[in-house]
């Protein structure tokens, strides 16, 4: 079965606002105030909690390996879990495209480097968890993207064939995952890191979700 696998943060949904709010809550706990800007630092937010903490540490003139990063990482996750969907929104047309893909016979799944529990909670609150045949997070396996086994196992759990899959994402991690797996990648241009996607030379660039089903058909063929 041919399978389309989606990244979550920055691909299906813009989660950067809630991630930055969680990081700023940590910086306030440190007595430093809000160090990250929701607009300017959105790209860093989608690279994960430690990336945000490292950026904040640099603005406090502390080193990138400061022990406060590990100390506050769980606190950041806790802040995020309590307020996970206040500023998060699905990209226009994302779920319409998912539905069209399913109607055409493709399996759809999610492979994210967000911890699985948080990803499930967010997808549940957004009301879309049951729209996907499988969802694996950063801690679902012993490996994570860009290791290709993270993608392969996601496809297998969705009932698909890893050799007949592709990955829709928004980052160099997603591009490297698809390259390591030997499958095509489609990178979105409308996320916080969209301007950098062409340089990664994916098989396709996605400017709007309404184009995705036909793009998938060109890359994977009809079901």
Question: Which of the residues 7, 18, 41, 170 is marked catalytic?
Answer: 7
For 77-109, what is each residue's pLDDT tens digit?
Answer: 999 999 999 999 999 999 999 999 999 999 999
Give the pLDDT confidence score for residue 191 in this predicted structure. 83
3-state secondary structure the chain: CCEEEECCECCCEECHHHHHHHHHHHHHHCCCCCCCCCCCCHHHHCCCHHHHHHHHHHHCCCCCCCHHHHHHHHHHHHHHHHCCCCCCEECCCHHHHHHHHHHCCCEEEEECCCCHHHHHHHHHHHCCHHHCCEEECCCCCCCCCCCHHHHHHHHHHCCCCHHHEEEEECCHHHHHHHHHHCCCEEEECCCCCHHHCHHHCCCEEECCHHHHHHHHHHHHCCC
Average pLDDT, the chain: 95
Residue 211: active-site member: no
| Domain ranges for the chain | 3-14+89-220, 16-82
- Percent of the chain clearing pLDDT 70 (strictly above): 99
For 34-70, what is each residue's pLDDT tens digit?
Answer: 999 999 999 899 888 999 999 999 999 887 777 888 8
Cis ω on the peptide bond leading into residue 146 (within 30° of 0)? yes
Give the pLDDT confidence score for residue 108 in this predicted structure. 98
CATH of domain 3-14+89-220: 3.40.50.1000
- Segment 174-191 shows an average pLDDT of 96
Is it the case that residue 74 has pLDDT exceeding 80? yes
Is it the case that residue 193 has pLDDT exceeding 90? no
Q: What is the pTM of this model?
A: 0.94
Lowest mean pLDDT segment, chosen from 42-56, 117-131, 152-166:
42-56
Give the pLDDT confidence score for residue 196 in this predicted structure. 82
Sign of the alpha-carbon torsion through 155, 150, 137, 36:
negative
């Amino acid at each position: 079965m041919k399978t389309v696998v989606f990244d979550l943060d920055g691909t299906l949904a813009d989660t950067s606002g809630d991630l930055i709010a969680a990081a700023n809550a940590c910086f306030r706990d440190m007595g430093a105030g809000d160090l990250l800007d929701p607009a300017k630092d959105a790209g860093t937010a989608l690279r994960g909690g430690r990336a945000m903490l490292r950026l904040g540490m640099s603005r406090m003139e502390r080193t990138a390996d400061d022990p406060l990063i590990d100390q506050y990482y769980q606190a950041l996750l806790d802040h995020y879990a309590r307020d996970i969907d206040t500023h998060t929104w699905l990209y226009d047309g994302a779920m319409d495209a998912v539905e069209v893909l399913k109607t055409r016979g493709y399996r759809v799944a999610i492979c994210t480097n967000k911890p699985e529990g948080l990803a499930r909670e967010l997808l549940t609150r957004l009301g879309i968890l049951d729209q996907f045949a499988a969802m694996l997070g950063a801690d679902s396996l012993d490996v994570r993207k860009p290791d290709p086994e993270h993608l392969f196992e996601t496809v297998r759990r969705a009932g698909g064939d890893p050799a007949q899959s592709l990955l829709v994402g928004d980052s160099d991690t997603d591009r490297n995952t698809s390259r390591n797996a030997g499958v095509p990648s489609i990178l979105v241009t409308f996320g916080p890191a969209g301007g950098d996607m062409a340089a990664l030379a994916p098989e396709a660039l996605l400017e709007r979700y309404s184009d995705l089903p036909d793009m998938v058909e060109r890359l994977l063929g009809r079901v």
